[in-house]
Chain A
Amino acid sequence: MNDLKSWYRSNLVSRIDALENAKKNLNTNPEETIDSIRRIAHSLRGSGATYGFPEISEAAAKVEEADNEAIPDTLEHFLHTLTAIAGEKSDKNNVLIIEDDVDICHLLQLTLSSQNNYHVHLAYTAQEANQYLADNSVDLILLDMVLPDMDGRNLILLFRENPTTAMVPIIVLSARGGKQIQSECLALGADAYYIKPFDPKTVASAAKAQLDRAKQFSRFSQRDPLTQLPNRAAFREMMEKQTAKMQATSHPSALALLDLDYMESLNDQFGQAKGDKIIKTTAALIQENLPDYTYAARWKGASFAVYFPRKTEHQAAEIITGLKDSLRTVPFEFLPDPSLKISFSAGVIEMLNPIPFDELTAKAEETLYLAKSAGRNCVLTSSASFSPLKKQLLLADDDPLTASIIQHRLTREGFEVIHAQDGQEALDIAKNQSFSLAILDVKMPVIDGFQLLKELRQMTAFRKTPIIMLTSLGEEKDIVRGFSLGANDYMQKPFSPIELLARIHRVLKS
């Protein structure tokens, strides 16, 4: 049976290739391609569960029964399922028995091999064991306490220090029954301890239990224990697989980062445990309400990441907004006031081309940050946040030092600063572009700040644009002149950047 199973699994590879090929042809020759996709799905639907992979039959059924429009999504899921199974390593467990008593070795080998799913390897000495482990990975170690060349306890220590065996379950077999040795072995990192003569069946079932537990553990390390959502590492892995596949498709996909609002003060007010419950409730809500083929993970603390294949950022933002609205209706029974409204903010971005994961998430974090600064309880898409919110500013100053200070500070505040080195350049730029704000130095060669101000005010695009003049200290008459020509404010050099920011915000508001 197990041989058939691995035969089946290796046969999946050609099916996956055929489906990947079909996926590429979906746009050029949809009818024929969909037919052949359905044929492959039909065949795998009929065999998957028979070979012990019911998930293949299920995913295949979805493809076979899908409308033509739903084929791409169901196919994606199907391929995902197939790839996961084809890529699994053989489900035989590699067991290493380290024991110098040949009879016991063979007894254990017989007992384990009769259960079919074990590859048993024997080592009669510690040296043999180490040689084997240098080239092979094992899933379980059965270890005799007394070996010709080494004390079993030392070997446990060695195994636990070696990263490749650090997590492998170890079952100790010992002729000595002392409680002290037993607890010593367990303290060194052994997982179970049996005294000779032992019942081989008991040891075999202990072996099975240890293997099951080890598998469980590696599955859980991919999950966040609090929310049971995939963790950040798992999300990264999934995203990297997705972007690697992206070249073939020309469809956009979207990424959203969500962060619960005011989580710090909620934690302060109700305690960390209740804060965790809020996070858990939100995670459950996300999982229940997201459409199929969407991938959610716990990002960090009170933030979640959601990946939407084949969705634009607007479609994704709509779904997230729906989620946000339903969260506000959820009663939090464990809080003193269950009607307390919990909200989150989210940044949603779209990708058309494969973008490195870190770049992608940095962009999403930035959008999330903007959503937070927009007052929270807010879902923002990157296109909405970057065009209207990013303010463009015209800076005319011939002094490179002043210009660079202003540019540096204001860029950090989210402005896009266009720097003109003199009045003429500023005029040229102003003819082609509108700005939310202009900062003009008074003293510039050829066209000075006043003349520039005058000319700008005559342009329709600049009639109402806030303009701040930079004047030198002690030239009070310049201030009066500036106001009379239509300036909104002035700053005296040298100025503090903080004061400049305050003035900018004031003129932008009025």
Chain B
Amino acid sequence: MKTIFLVDDDEMIQQMATFLLTQSGEFSVIPIKQGNLVLKLAKHNPPNAFLLDYVLEDMNGMEILLQLKSEETLKHIPVIFLTAKDDETHQKEFIRQGAVGVIPKPFDPMTFVDTVKQLLH
């Protein structure tokens, strides 16, 4: 069972993604709404992957990504962006900074879990 930090301040996205991931039986999900908590929680209890939204209230997903990539103990953990900012410029920048992939919002619930699995493989 893999643990995923799901970082998104949108309750509706949280609910759907958590439901889909847990139902697959392969993931347990820790939902996080505040960007500034991600690093603290991860240091304490490193997950197997991060799902990051770009637009958060207190900070943006890129800032979190950079934080994670500069931590020796966390920088190898795969990060997937889950975001409406799926234009090419943003996508390239996410990948360049070390994300393994981008799932555009709104995502398709039928393929969501498979996409996550593929990206984490």
Q: Are A11 and B106 in contact (CB under 8 A)?
A: no
Interface size class for chain A?
10 to 19
Query: Which of B13, B16, B108, B112: most chain A Cβ within 10 A?
Result: B16
What residues on A are CB-neighbors of B83 within 8 Å?
46
The answer on a CB contact under 8 Å between A50 and B108 is: yes
Is A7 close to B, CB under 8 A? yes
Q: Are A50 and B107 in contact (CB under 8 A)?
A: yes
Task: Identify the closest chain B residue to A47 (Cβ).
Answer: B12
Find out whether the CB atom of A4 lies under 8 angstroms from the CB atom of B16: yes
Contact B106 A43 (CB under 8 A): no
Q: Does A449 contact B (CB under 8 A)?
A: no
* Contact in complex: B16, A47 (CB < 8 Å): yes
Q: How far is the CB of B108 from chain A (nearest CB, A)?
A: 7
A468 to B107, CA, bound (A): 79
| A4 x B13 contact (CB < 8 A) | no
CB B52 to nearest CB in A, in angstroms, measures 13
Flag whether B26 is at the interface (Cβ < 8 A): no
Contact B107 A45 (CB under 8 A): no
Q: Which residue of B lies closest to A49 (CB)?
A: B106
Chain B residues with Cβ below 8 Å from A42 are 55, 84
Within the complex, the shortest CB–CB distance from A116 to chain B, in Å, comes to: 14
B88 at the interface (CB under 8 A from A): no
Complex Cα gap A509–B57 (Å): 73
- Decide if A8 is an interface residue (CB 8 Å cutoff): yes
The answer to whether B10 touches A46, judged by C-beta atoms less than 8 angstroms apart, is yes
A46 / chain B contacts, CB cutoff of 8 Å: 10, 13, 83-84, 105-106
Kindly provide the distance from the CB of B112 to the nearest chain A CB, expressed in whole angstroms.
Answer: 8
Q: Which one of B106, B107, B108, B109 lies within 8 Å of A1 (CB-CB)?
A: B109
Residue A51 interfacial (CB < 8 Å): yes
Inter-subunit contact A50/B19 (CB<8 Å): no
A residues 16-66 in Cβ contact with B at 8 Å: 42-52, 54, 57
Give per-residue flags for B1-34: 1 if the beta carbon is below 8 A from chain A beta carbons, else 0: 0000000001111011001000000000000000
Q: Would A45 and B15 count as touching, CB distance under 8 A? A: no
Give chain A residues whose Cβ lies under 8 Å from the Cβ of B12.
8, 11, 43-44, 47, 50-51
- Residues A47 and B105 in contact, CB atoms below 8 Å apart: yes
| Interfacial chain B residues near A11, Cβ < 8 Å | 11-12
Which A residues are CB-close (under 8 A) to B108?
49-50
Interface flags for B92-109 (1: CB within 8 Å of A; 0: not) read: 000000000000011111
A324 to chain B, nearest CB (A): 41
Is the pair B109, A47 in contact by a Cβ cutoff of 8 Å?
no
Is the contact region of chain B dominated by helix, strand, or loop, or is it mixed?
A: mixed
Residues 465-508 of chain A, each 1 if its beta carbon lies under 8 Å from chain B, else 0: 00000000000000000000000000000000000000000000
Q: 1/0 per position for B108-121, CB-CB distance to A under 8 A?
A: 11001000000000
Which residues of chain B in 45-99 are interfacial with respect to chain A, using CB atoms and an 8 Å cutoff?
55, 83-84
Contacts of A54 in B (CB 8 A): 106
Shortest CB distance A5–B (Å):
10
CB distance from B86 to the nearest CB of A (A): 10
CB distance from A7 to the nearest CB of B (A): 7
**Complex Cα distance A51/B19, Å?**
12
Query: Which A residues are in CB contact (< 8 Å) with B107?
Result: 50
Give the Cβ gap from A40 to chain B, nearest Cβ, in Å.
10
A51 to B11, CA, bound (A): 13
* Chain B residue contacts of A57, Cβ below 8 A: 106
Complex alpha-carbon distance, A245 and B6, angstroms: 40
A418 and B70 CA atoms in complex are apart in Å by 89
Which of A4, A7, A50 is close to B106, meaning CB atoms less than 8 Å apart?
Answer: A50
CB distance from A20 to the nearest CB of B (A): 19
A47 CB contact (under 8 Å) in B13, B55, B112: B13
A42 CB to closest chain B CB, in angstroms? 7
List chain B residues, Cβ under 8 A from A50. 12-13, 16, 105-109, 112
Distance in Å: Cβ of A53 to nearest Cβ of chain B: 9
CA–CA, A51 to B107, complex, Å? 9
Q: List the B side residues contacting A48 at CB < 8 Å.
A: 106
Given A46-B13, A52-B109; 16 other pairs, CB 8 A cutoff: A1-B109, A4-B15, A8-B12, A42-B84, A43-B10, A45-B84, A45-B105, A45-B106, A46-B106, A47-B13, A47-B105, A50-B13, A50-B106, A50-B108, A50-B112, A51-B16
Query: What are 30 inter-chain pairs, A to B, with CB distance below 8 A?
Result: A1-B109, A4-B16, A8-B15, A8-B16, A11-B11, A42-B55, A42-B84, A43-B10, A44-B12, A46-B10, A46-B13, A46-B84, A46-B105, A46-B106, A47-B12, A47-B13, A47-B16, A47-B105, A47-B106, A48-B106, A49-B108, A50-B12, A50-B13, A50-B107, A50-B109, A50-B112, A51-B16, A51-B109, A54-B106, A57-B106
B residues with a Cβ closer than 8 A to A are 10-13, 15-16, 19, 55, 83-84, 105-109, 112
Residues of A near any B CB (own CB < 8 A): 1, 4, 7-8, 11, 42-52, 54, 57
The 5 A-B residue pairs with the shortest CB-CB distance in the complex, in nearest-first order: A49-B106, A46-B105, A47-B12, A50-B106, A46-B84
